[in-house]
């Protein structure tokens, strides 16, 4: 499982233009892929469409293939380590930020391991450990 940030080089309007040229069947395929993972869409300061997602590797590959076939220009950044280390991304939209924080906490709960906590301890020191990190370490 990965936590990623995808930023398209498209505005909402230009993405709607791309979607408008696709068949209904292909749009249905895209919708099915989006149902496979949790995500939060946002707009960057350049008015580009972005998305944070908790996604399995195979689903990410399918999504990237669809974007490429549709000529969507995008970048993908894996921020899994940052999220697992409690460095949550920030959004200017307060409501979406709350949803993103919830999604990050859920991702950590479902994906944190002792090895990740030990890596965090090694890289950042004991003061970086959360209460939950300490409890998990005490349980072993």
* pLDDT tens string 85-112: 999 999 999 999 999 999 999 999 999 9
Could you tell me if residue 112 is inside a domain?
Answer: no
Does 8 score more than 90 pLDDT?
Answer: yes
In a domain, 91, yes or no: no
Say if 71 falls within a structural domain.
Answer: yes
Is 119 inside a domain boundary? Answer: no
Task: Give yes or no for residue 135 having a pLDDT over 90.
Answer: no
**In this predicted model, what pLDDT tens digit does every residue of 27-61 receive, in sequence order?**
999 999 999 999 999 999 999 999 999 999 999 99
- Position 90 in a domain: no
Q: Give the Cα separation of 20 and 33 in Å (integer).
A: 18
| Confidence band, pLDDT 50/70/90 cuts, at residue 132 | confident
Q: Is 85 a domain residue?
A: no
CATH number at residue 39: 3.30.70.600
- Tally of domains in the chain: 1
- Which residues constitute the domain of residue 36? 2-78
The encoded tokens of residue 89 equal 């991304």
Q: Is the pLDDT of residue 140 over 90?
A: no
Is 64 a member of any domain? yes
Confidence of residue 82 (pLDDT cuts 50, 70, 90): very high
Mean pLDDT, the chain, rounded, equals: 94
Within a domain: 94: no
Dist. CA 2–CA 46, nearest whole Å: 25
């Amino acid at each position: 499982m990965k936590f990623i940030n995808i930023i398209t080089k498209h505005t909402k309007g230009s993405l709607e233009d791309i979607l408008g040229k696709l068949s209904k069947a292909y749009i249905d395929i895209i919708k099915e892929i989006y149902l496979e993972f949790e995500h939060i869409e946002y707009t960057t300061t350049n008015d580009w469409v972005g998305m944070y997602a908790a996604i399995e590797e195979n689903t990410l590959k399918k999504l990237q293939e669809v974007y490429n076939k549709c000529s969507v220009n995008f970048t993908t950044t894996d921020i899994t380590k940052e999220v697992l280390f409690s460095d949550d991304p920030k959004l200017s939209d307060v409501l979406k930020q709350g949803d993103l924080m919830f999604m990050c906490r859920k991702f950590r709960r479902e994906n944190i391991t002792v090895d990740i906590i030990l890596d965090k301890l090694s890289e950042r020191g004991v003061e970086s450990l959360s209460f939950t990190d300490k409890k998990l370490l005490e349980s072993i």
